[in-house]
Structure 1
Amino acid sequence: MRMLSNATDAFQSYDYPVSAEEIIEGDGDMELELPNGTERLGDALSRSAPETFESAEDAEFAAFSGVSSKAIGRKGYSDRDPICMGEDGPDQVSF
């Protein structure tokens, strides 16, 4: 298994422009280790990939954009975002 950030190495081995299908055929079975499970690179690319990538950076962006919710920590959690006006949020706690 590989971390998602390490999967970018695979994108460097292609001559660009390259089709999404070619990357999926070549490296689509690569298992990505995510915080809440694993996912195939091909599944991530098939969700958000254009038909052709112009650069390795484009392929990397598509992979990062296409991973499922397994790639995030707790859904809806943020310790940085303030509560919007008009919304009920948790009471503030002082330590």
Structure 2
Amino acid sequence: MADDKQGQDKQADDEERRQQEREVEEARTRADEAEPIRNDTVEQLDDLDEALETHDYPTTTDDLIEAYGDYEIETQDGWESLDEVLGPTDNQTYVSADDVRSRILGRIRR
């Protein structure tokens, strides 16, 4: 079919349509992704942010509290220790520093 001008045009149009469909699907997939961590997170977590980056993963809430429980985090109500922020939650497993940051931010922005 691509041997004539009409066939080539149709093939090009089909490819363009498929590309647009892929872009729409990618946008839909990204809509389900968590928002990236904002730059002011480093300020809120202060020294804890660097400690989380160098920590070994996977890790648990209990491990983090044991290692960094005294680190201070800026919350809406002032400064609280990591122990105060994560202590009341269930012990869960984190696979990365971003995973921990997301959990902490979810707790302090409620």
TM range (shorter): 0.5 to 0.7
1:41 maps to amino acid: L
TM-score (norm 2): 0.50
Q: Percent identity?
A: 26
2:86 maps to amino acid: L
Structure 2, unmatched stretches of 5+, are 1-41
Name which of structure 1's ranges 41-50 and 59-68 shifts more when overlaid on structure 2.
Answer: 41-50
Greater length-normalized contact order (CA 8 Å, ≥ 6 residues apart): 1
Query: Secondary structure in 2 aligned to 1:11?
Result: helix
Which residue of 37, 57, 62 corresponds with 2:103?
Answer: 62
Structure 1, unmatched stretches of 5+, are 70-95
Larger Rg: 2
Name which of structure 1's ranges 15-24 and 39-48 shifts more when overlaid on structure 2.
Answer: 39-48
RMSD in angstroms over aligned alpha carbons? 2.5
Task: Find runs of 4+ consecutive structure 1 residues off by over 4 angstroms.
Answer: 47-50
How many residues are treated as equivalent by the alignment? 68
